[in-house]
Amino acid sequence: MVSRQDLSLFRGELFAVRYRDRATRHAQAHFRYCGLRGSGSHILPVLIGEDGAAVQVAAALRHSGFDVRAIRPPTVPAGTARLRVSLTLNASEAAVEGLFQALGPELAARRVTASVCGIR
């Protein structure tokens, strides 16, 4: 037998999944601004390549108010440094748009051809 509390919890989890999926679809629509293709997931590994460029782009995005981290060797193989962007339930559509509007110029300024999930 399912209790009201169980149903309430289920509805909350269903809302969270739907909201995250909507945020992911919204983010994918903005990938083109940066010349990226979507990963299909709410975790977006943006491959940069060189460690220094990944650190610089991540620092610039943090300075703009986005919590984006550079993932570098030894966590990933040399030459595959990346940014880890994770969409959470508190990420508004405006924040997602702002992230990609900030990311595009940062990549262009460093002449980085980024990719998502190894697709260049």
pLDDT of res. 117: 43
pTM for the whole structure: 0.70
pLDDT of res. 34: 64
- Chain segment 10-58, per-residue pLDDT in tens: 555 655 666 667 766 666 666 665 666 666 677 778 888 899 999 999 9
Contact assessment for residue 35 and residue 111, using Cβ atoms and an 8 Å cutoff: no
Domains of the chain: 4-116 (3.90.1150.10)
Residue of 78, 75, 59 lying closest to 67 (CA atoms): 59
Tokens 């405006």 -> residue:
94
